[in-house]
Amino acid sequence: MKKTALYGAILGDIIGVPYEFDRNKPASKDSFPLFCAESNFSDDTVTTIAVADAVMKSAKEEDERVFFNTLVTTLQSWCRKYPYAGYGTRFLDWIFMNHPKPYGSTGNGAAMRVSSAGCFFDNIYDTRECARMTAQITHNHKEGVKGAMATACAIFLARTGASKEEIKNYVEYEFGYDLNRKIDDIRVYYRHTEKIWETVPEAIIAFLESTDFESAIRNTVWLGGDVDTFGAIAGSIAEAFYGVPDDLIAECRKRLPKEMLVVIDKFNECIFYRKDSD
């Protein structure tokens, strides 16, 4: 498997959509198909593509106001193209504002779209700062920012050779999440929620318990709740750690419009192929 980015988050979204809100809840982790007629992208994918587009355009600008403005305009532009992708009410209002302002959200939207920040930089400091910026345009509550940063840092560590234990220890120490739980135990009491402190840790645990990319996604569906967002977060970390099988990439590409594929290909060329040719 070659190195890739963005596919993990998008596959997590596409595979999770049919099971969101505990619909079609599977009897076991291995008893459900990864793809079906309802396996389509949602807001997680649109915003992931938008942030990746913005990161490529101006994440390395010295003036962070340039990047902030690029994030806002690019996210609005992409989301306006797909107005029925399933956005939350406040974010949907934000998309169509002429002068949008952050609204202190504690939801998991900032974490679900942050995977490009975890892949773009060569050091964890810049990764954290980029993740912070991608969150603050909407989710400027401290928990919203923290969840995005934790996700991006986990991706960065996974793609730079850290072990699962090192990833777990870093996230627990830096962000205070309790990762000493098991998916099967959490599932007993878990219910649908979009609060970032009740979804990011669980998604990271789904990755930590996995044995490969597919099992990470199956863990998120098995847990239930906001499954597509769990999948986007866990899938982005799992992709960085394991890679994504070619057949799953092919299935992903079949379900995306050409303009999204252009961004994915450009992003992967930017962060991988160009480096490999140096």
pLDDT value at position 22? 76
pLDDT value at position 278? 44
Q: Is the pLDDT of residue 2 over 80?
A: no
Mean pLDDT value of segment 4-32: 90
pLDDT value at position 28? 82
- Per residue in 121-134, pLDDT (tens digit) is 999 999 999 999 99
Q: Is the pLDDT of residue 275 over 80?
A: no
Which has more confidence, 218 or 61?
A: 218
pLDDT value at position 172? 98
Report the distance separating Cα 31 and Cα 25, nearest Å: 10
Domain spans of the chain, in order of start: 7-276
Percent of the chain with pLDDT over 70: 98
**pLDDT grade for 273, boundaries at 50, 70 and 90:** low
CB-based burial label for 11 (10 Å; 0-12, 13-18, 19+): buried
Question: What is the assigned CATH class of domain 7-276?
Answer: mainly alpha
- Per residue in 73-90, pLDDT (tens digit) is 999 999 999 999 999 999
- Per residue in 145-193, pLDDT (tens digit) is 999 999 999 999 999 999 999 999 999 999 999 999 999 999 989 888 8
Q: Which of 223, 156, 159, 131 is nearest to 185 (CA)?
A: 223
- Please state, in angstroms and as integers, the Cα–Cα distance from residue 239 to each residue in 53, 163, 242, 248, 256, following that order: 19, 14, 5, 11, 18
Q: Is the pLDDT of residue 277 over 60?
A: no
